[in-house]
Amino acid sequence: MPDDKKTKAASNAAQDVAVADSFPASDPPASTADSGARAVPPEQMMEQSHQEVPGAITLRRRFGDREAAKLAREAIVRDGPVDPHCVELKDAQGGCELIIKVPAADAPRLRELLGAN
C-alpha cells in the first residue's frame, strides 16, 4: 500500500505540471513558427500613406485645455466619423485648438456636431 501512495503522489505532481503548461487549453498560442500574431506586420501598417481630402474645408474650435481638445477629437473621430489623420491638435495661447479638414459636403453636419463657428 505505501507504494500506491507514492505512485499516486507522483502521478498527481506530473498531472499538475501538465495542466499548468496547457492552461488555458482553449486559447490558441499568440504566435507560432508558421504564422505570426498579426495579419499585417506593423511596419507595413505604418507605411500606409494618407491621402488628402479633395476640396477640404477646415473647421476650427478652441478649447481651454488640451484634455478637453483630446476628448473632442476622440468624439468627432468616433461620431463624425472623421479620419483621424484629418484631425490636428495645436497648442494655442490660452488653450488648445482642434483643427479638422473635412469634405465640403460633410462640413455643415460636422460643424454642428463640433459646435464650431
Residue-wise DSSP of 52-104: PPTTEEEEEEEESSHHHHHHHHHHHHHHTT--GGGEEEEEETTEEEEEEEEEG
How far apart (Å, rounded) are the C-alpha atoms in residues 32 and 107?
Answer: 47
Please name the residue that has the C-alpha cell 488653450: 95
Class of domain 53-114: alpha beta
**How confident is the model over 56-74, as a mean pLDDT?**
92
pTM (predicted TM-score): 0.55
CA 79 to chain CA centroid, nearest Å: 16
Q: What is the pLDDT of residues 11-23, one digit of tens each?
A: 677 766 666 666 5
Please name the residue that has the C-alpha cell 459646435: 115
